[in-house]
Amino acid sequence: MSRICDITGKRTRVGNNVSHANNKTKRKFYPNLHTKRFYIPEEDRWITLKVSSSAIRTINKNGISAVLKKARKEGKTF
């Protein structure tokens, strides 16, 4: 499974570890993802999404229906 947020599209970033001697080695920065179930009362069903912590806060603020509507408008499918 890929490490991509279903709502925000956040994905793994690439960067460097930098030592005290300024040696650089490649590393990855992973997004803070959680697999979470959400209930959609309009459709009377549960959906499971892999979402970042920032997406969870957005869902808590705006509601799952509004967030899914905006994501579908941007071309994401669930």
Structure tokens at 14: 């690439």
pLDDT at 49: 97
Judge whether residue 78 has pLDDT over 80. Answer: no
| CA–CA distance, 7 with 77 (Å, rounded to integer) | 10
Across 22-26, 68-72, 73-77, least confident range: 73-77
For residues 34 and 51, the answer to whether their CB atoms sit within 8 Å is yes
pLDDT in tens, 1-38: 689 999 999 999 999 999 999 999 999 999 999 999 99
Write down all domains in the chain, each with its CATH number in brackets.
13-73 (2.30.170.40)
| CA–CA distance, 34 with 26 (Å, rounded to integer) | 25
CB atoms within 10 A of CB 1: 6
pLDDT at 20: 98
pTM assigned to the model: 0.86
| CA–CA distance, 36 with 32 (Å, rounded to integer) | 13
For residues 51 and 58, the answer to whether their CB atoms sit within 8 Å is no
